[in-house]
Amino acid sequence: MKITLSPYEMELVRKQLGREPNEAEWLTIDALWSEHCSYKSSKVFLKSFPSEGERVVMGIEDWQDAGALDIGDGWAIVLKLESHNHPSAIDPFNGAATGVGGIIRDIISKGARPIALLDMIRVGPLNNSRNRWLLKNIIAGIGFYGNSIGVPVVGGELDFDESYTDNPLVDVAGVGVVRKDKIIPSVIKEPGLKIIIVGLTGLDGLGGASFASRKLSGEDEIGAVQIADPFAGKIVLDVTLEVADKVEAIKDLGGGGLVVGITEMANGFGAIVNLDKVPLRVKDLRPEEILVSETQERMLFAVKDENVEKVCKAFEYYEYPCAVIGEFTKEPYIKFLYNGREVVSLPSDLLLSPPRFVWGAKKVREKRLNETKPEVGLEESVKAVVSRILSKEWAYSQFDYEVGTSTVLKPGEADSALISLPNGKLLAIKGDANPDLCAEDPYECGKSIVAEAYRNLASVGAIGIGVVDHLQFGDPRKPDVYYSFVEAIRGIAEASKFFQTPIVGGKVSFYNENKEGKPIKPTPLIVMAGLVKDKFLRNSVVEDSYIVQVGFTRDEMRGSLFTKLFGVYGDVPKTRLNEDYLASQLIVDAINDEKVIFAKDINKGGLIGAIFSILVKGKGVELTLSSIPSDTDDWVPKLFSENSGRFIVLTNDPDYLMRKAKGIYISVVGKVTKNYGILEIDDKKINLDKEIENYYNYLNEVMS
């Protein structure tokens, strides 16, 4: 098992201890001080995130496994966002499946019942056979676990870029529901509690936290990947919720395994753990292997003496291993024993106080071969852009998105997933990232992805109430990578404060690089949850409806799909948060007043990208270029700019929108026609029936 500690960190340990740690102690420190578990290169900046608000029940707190938001009537939702990037690059099926399992256990560790999953997947181009293999097995792994355990996958993203060829990104978000007064902490508040472990410990996932805290080496690292067992996961889910009222704290055994779970749960107190009492899947495991194994489907419980038998009996009914392995102590030392011999004895404050690093940050601008506007025709550009917009039905068809009867809008029906809650309210949830924009300007990108998620929720009638994030970058020691990281945080924090959507949890994932050491495009990702204000919108497309653009188009082309296809030029889109807010409020009001039948925010592909979602519904579209409100007469930005603050809606009453609008542009830009697949821009007719067919069939054909 590799150690990721630097010589500086190792010398720091020796000075604090006054001695040389043994092998088991080095592995313990390495796990807890790993980037994956300690956030040692990011925590300084993460403190800028807004984490408080009237709906925040549990925010960004040390060693809490998930955040929680008040949804009224005594209920809360629990939110969590995680990834399994490195494991999925080595073993995509188990890497993705165990990512789902980890999210499920994070949710149930708060005493919440999981009700929905979202998956956000990024791989390299599908003309590469290995990328196709990765995608097929990632989706199979997600479906295998989610379908088996009975939690619907209600939405997500699927994106392709060369930078993810060696290092795919596999993000999974989970939502659970729980009574506010029944939320279980992940840490103890007093010593003297017994430590119970459920599940078997094996050889899979050895050193997983350290593995996730370094770049992929190209060597055989399959042993660091955990093996998924959703049927055991279902037992863990059901029984954990059954015994939740009999325990004082619950923690999923995830990154770092037993050493991290015990130390974080101790919360500054101490623990004495007997490793020889840990139930094993494999005989004769070394104590060092038991310490850092990340075998899945395991949980830790802190339990009072009188409840120990009740907790274990519930698991033993299903013949699921359950054992008392130790006790939390007042003395602030974490001690692991094996056959009566002390193999680890380390002070809690050392383990929980890793050094903090702030690396040098410097903006590095790559030289571009083409900084001038490309010469490209109208029809060519329209067809090229819409050809990159693909239906995700191939992926969603492998997921059970209706199990549990809580799904209101199916995946792909709208810009946001919509699920029903126990208190009768409707929850909207959406994940957003924009790596192409982040590669150009991470600060504007940070603001933009929060604003886009806010608009996505508004398009179904919901107002955002909270956010979880995942910040995915290359090696933080590289100045340009660290610059992107810091700037993205600045943008996300600013936008989250503006929209009053506090960040209640998240994760940082560094060292996402290819085998040559080139980092992925900066990929901060946020998942926003919101509540439907009154009514929700189920999109429909009706002939002769007016197409109305809400918001103003700007000649800001950099970072757009158009420039990705034809050459980089132009200005970076500036996210004007007040325009996003005003436009979103108007859309929600129009939905509540039943004045729109279709709403979609304008993002990838610009206006043409949004219009294409009308065309694929079996109709045609007429657009008038001169009617598009813009700061330019150039047709390229009018059609393809991706600046924020804009929606396309279908309505029979555009005057309503004009009367209700405050401080934003409203313009009728076209009409829906009966001419299937025909996009008419002024006097130019473009037949997109082949592109529509490609929209529905491309992934199915390529992945078959």
Contacts of 482 (CB under 8 A, 6+ apart): 41, 359, 360, 361, 476
Tokens 């500036």 label which residue? 574
197 alpha-carbon distance from chain centroid: 28
HSE-CB at 675 with a 13 A cutoff on CA atoms is: 12
- Contact status, residue 450 vs residue 495, Cβ threshold 8 Å: yes
Which residues are known binding-site members for substrate? 83-86, 105, 226, 509
Per DSSP, the residues of 93-140 read HHHHHHHHHHHHHHHHTTTPEEEEEEEEEEE--TTSHHHHHHHHHHHH
**Which residues are annotated as part of the binding site for ATP?**
39, 80, 469, 506
Q: Given 28, 33, 34, 36, which residue is catalytic?
A: 36
Given strand 523-532, what is the order of strands in its sheet?
Answer: 407-409, 417-420, 426-432, 523-532, 462-472, 503-509
Side-chain-side CA neighbours of 396 within 13 Å: the count stands at 21
User: How far apart are the C-alpha atoms of 487 and 474, rounded to whole Å?
Assistant: 14
Q: Which residues are annotated as a binding site?
A: 39, 80, 82-86, 105-106, 226, 252, 469, 506, 509
- C-alpha angle 268/273/275, rounded to 5°? 140
Which of 247, 300, 374, 316 is CA-nearest to residue 640?
A: 374
Contacts of residue 688, Cβ cutoff 8 Å, sequence gap at least 6:
382, 383, 386, 612, 615, 677, 678, 679
Q: Strands of 113-123's sheet, edge to edge?
A: 56-58, 67-72, 75-83, 169-179, 113-123, 153-160
Asked if 55 contacts 69 with a C-beta cutoff of 8 angstroms, the reply is: yes
- 176 near 115, Cβ under 8 Å? yes
Beta strands in 304-455 (DSSP E): 322-329, 333-338, 341-347, 407-409, 417-420, 426-432
Say which of 40, 84, 214, 298 is annotated catalytic: 84
Assess whether 36 carries a catalytic annotation: yes
Cα separation, 230 vs 149, whole angstroms = 6
Q: Is residue 583 within 8 Å of 591, Cβ to Cβ?
A: no
Q: Say which DSSP state 467 is in.
A: E
CA distances from 49 to 46, 354, 462, 488 (A): 6, 21, 23, 11
Closest CA to 178 of 68, 20, 44, 50: 68
The dihedrals phi and psi of 545, each to the nearest 5 degrees, come to -65, 145
Annotated binding-site members for Mg(2+):
82, 106, 252
Q: Half-sphere exposure of residue 592, counting CA atoms within 13 Å on the CB side?
A: 14
Identify whether 470 is a catalytic site residue.
no
Q: What residues act catalytically? A: 36, 84
